[in-house]
Amino acid sequence: MAIECLILGAGQEVGKSCVVVKIGGKQIMFDCGMHMGYSDHRAFPDFSLISPSDISCVVITHFHLDHIGALPYFTEVCGYNGPIYMTYPTKALAPLMLKDYHKIMVDRRGLEEQYTCDDILQCMNKVIPIDIKQTIQVDKDLQIRAYYAGHVIGAAMIYAQAGEETMVYTGDYNMTPDRHLGAAQIDRLQLDLLLTESTYATTIRDSKYSREREFLKAVHTCIAAGGKVLIPTFALGRAQELCILLDDYWERMNITVPIYFSAGLTLQANMYYKMLIGWTSQKIKESYTVRNPFDFKHVCPFERSMINAPGPCILFATPGMLGGGFSLEVFKQWAPSDKNLIALPGYCIAGTVGHKLMSGKSTRVDLDDTQIDVKCQIHQLAFSPHTDSKGIMDLVEFLSPKHVILVHGEKPKMASLKQRIESELGIPCQYPANHETALIPTKKDIKIIASKTFIKNCISEINGDKRIAEGILIMEKGQNAKFVSEEEFRETVGVEGNAVNTVTFTQCLSLPNNTVSIETKDMILALEKELKKSIKFRKFEVSEDCIKLESITIRICSNNISCNFGKDEDAEEMAMHLFCSWSIRDDEMARICLSVVKNMESTV
């Protein structure tokens, strides 16, 4: 049995997360995201590789567009009709994100729409909300459960179990808590597969406190000199996090410089945050009893006319990464002044202005029609809601799954992380590219029947304070495997006396092609010589084509008729074979012989 993972997106890249996993015969789609760097067909996962009707359920981990952006397309255009699961906050906030994006892309940029606003609404109507640690029985065999993932509000890691096979898809997660969200939290589970994100596969971050200190210092210096600070950010998550940080700092340092939120979206989002207190960190939950921490004291809405108003200010503007929209508009105005500061929180996808700014000291940015001299300071904020490589390693170590698959990262970094997981934790790891399928072998439990006599023997031995029982396992084609006692075995086989000794074990080894030319006799002699090195003080009986030692017989046969029993199916037709047989009493010695023979194979 195996788990099949078809990577539809975010394989060796960041963006359009989408994985279809076939587990226990059930297909689950984890996330259904879009790529923000593209506006053509590459933006969506290639749904032609799957058939929507085969999917048992879709699970969305959180509301970021690269995890949910293609969902309306999949449901309304591709026609998926099954259940869709997401947490309550995701269900609440996802439509906001989708509509906002739709507005920007279709209404403002005039791109061709892949789905309509109605599609979004209809799609969201099909969503079944779930809660953290709530187990959902999708159907008879399949159950899923969500765990807290940090990252953004409502983000979840998904545990899925179908039959005997188990797996966890992490989505995006954060192993260190921040100001408004807790750290990821999961039980110790027995897993066959862990599908984890690896955005920061090689980064090890220092303490968040120093990052906060640096950010505050940069902002404070800028506004003290009368500059303006632009923080392009997603409306949800980072905006709130940084706002809590700044609001606290403003309070403590008695600063009166205004903090603006650009869009209505963020204000709307803040309203949701106020209601979703239960999904935040311990700190927020506790201070909620006194005051809602999302009622920011120093924050006010921004008017477009304020862009060129004199005096320092802080502005949170959407979208993040300066990918377009209002934040880019403000950037055009503010970037030429060296007093100002652009603080870029987190990751920027290649192709965005943000990425250009982060990648180096570029003094000039070419936009569609204009060139902008960038003189302002750039502060890179390591405020990422993604876990660092230590966090990934910690999670993998904690869960100790049998296999790991990395997604949502950059290829070279993933390779190095894979290396670490395999060498340090000893867990096999893969990082398939998009449209590749990874096969994860899983153990299959086999039903074994134990005979009554065997059980009786076991019980009597247990009473004698032994926990080990001896027996013989019989596996026959078309029948259940069976544990029997020795006597029963004798009866079955129909021999008397010491039944075990009468059983003969055989193995056929094929020698490489180039040995065909060697004479059988020479082969035997060479073999004898080798064997004598390992097994001393024993008498070998050597004949023309075979060597005998006690019950062990090693026979050379050049045709494959005499030894098709136990032979490798792939063996070359013309190859020379060694046919070994021995009885159980010489088992130990036989194994030594076999290893000698095998070694010879490689040395010949």
Partner 1 sequence: MEREGSLVPAVTPTCNPSNNPLPHPHCPLHLSSLSTALSVVLNPSTSIVTVHSTVESLLLSLPRLSTNPLSLSLALSVLSQSVSPHPSLSQSIVSTIRSLINGHDRNSSAVLSALLSIARSSLNKDGFSTVDSVLDENLVLSLASSRVYRVRSRILNLLVFIVGRWKCSSNNLTDEVMVRVLLGFIGDIYPVLRREAIDGLFEFLTVAGAGVDFCVAECCLDHAVGLMRDDDELVRSAAVRMVGLCGKILVEEKGVDKSEKMDTIFTQICCMARDMSVKVRIEAFEALGKLKLVSDSVLMQSLSKKILGAKNGGKSLVKLDKESKPSYACAAGAYVHGIEDEFYEVRKVACRSLGIHALLSIKFADDAINLLMDLMNDDVEGVRVEALDSLFHMAAHECLNVHEKHMHMFLGLLTDMSALVRHKARKTLRLMKLPKRGIFKSTVNELIANLERHPEEEEDIFFALFSLGKNHQRFSLSLAKDLAKQIEQTSKVDLALDKPSMAATLVVCIASPLSENEITPDTPVVLFSYAVALLGRISRALQGTVDRDFLLTFLLYHTNIKWKSQDLMAEVDSNGTNEEVMLSIIKLISKSIGNAWSLIKRSNGNDAERILRSCSKELEIISFDTSQSASTTVDFLSKYIQIVQLISEIWCKSDLRSSTTFQIRNHHVLLEKLDSSLRSILYSFTGWTKEVECHILELNLLSDAFTLSLAGTNSCNLKNLCAKISHLEAISCLSDFTKEVKRSIDKRSSGIVDLHGLFELFEFQELDVLKEMKSIKAELKVAGNDSENPLAFIPGLPIGIRFCITLHNTSSTDRLWLRMSVGGGPPQYMSLDVCNFEGSEKMRKCTSVIPFYESPNVFSFEIRVCVVIECSSEYYEIFKEREGGPKCDVTELSIESFVYFSSVKNR
Residues that bind partner 1 (CB under 8 A): 176-177, 182-188, 204-210, 212-213, 248, 252, 281-283, 287, 388, 390, 393-394, 397-398, 400, 423-426, 465
Contact between 244 and 356 under an 8 Å Cβ cutoff? The reply is no
Number of other residues whose CB lies within 10 A of the CB of residue 233? 28
Instruction: Kindly tell me which of 398 and 505 has the beta carbon lying closer to partner 1.
Output: 398
Q: Considering beta carbons, is residue 284 or 322 the nearer one to partner 1? A: 284
* Shortest Å, Cβ 37 to partner 1: 31
**Nearer of residues 378 and 425 to partner 1, judged by Cβ:** 425
Nearer to partner 1, 329 or 461 (CB): 461
Q: Please, what is the minimum distance in Å from the beta carbon of residue 82 to partner 1? A: 31
Least Å distance, CB 346 to partner 1, is: 18
Find how far residue 66's CA is from the centre of its chain.
Answer: 15
Measured in degrees and rounded to the nearest 5, phi and psi for residue 18 equal -165, 115
Q: Which residues of 167-204 are buried (b: 16+ CB within 10 A; e: fewer)?
A: bbbbbbbbbbbbbbbbbbebeebebbbbbbbbbbbbee
Least distance (Å) between residue 384 CB and partner 1? 14
Write down the least CB distance from residue 154 to partner 1, Å. 17
Per DSSP, 569 falls in state: T
| Smallest separation (angstroms) from partner 1 to the CB of 247 | 12
Q: Is 197 a catalytic residue?
A: yes
Query: Per the residue annotation, which of 13, 165, 197, 241 is the catalytic one?
Result: 197
CA-CA-CA-CA torsion for 206, 207, 208, 213, nearest 10 degrees? -90
Q: Is the Cβ of residue 359 or residue 423 nearer to partner 1 in the bound state?
A: 423
In the sheet that 429-430 helps form, which strands lie side by side, from edge to edge? 135-137, 142-148, 156-162, 165-169, 193-197, 403-407, 429-430
- In terms of CB distance, is 355 or 390 closer to partner 1? 390
Pairing of strands 577-583, 552-557: antiparallel
CA-wise closest residue to 223 among 246, 201, 200 = 246
Whether residue 345 is preceded by a cis peptide bond, meaning omega within 30 degrees of 0, is no
Q: Which residue has the tokens 């449901």?
A: 75
Distance CA 477, CA 159 (A): 35
Residues carrying an active site annotation: 197
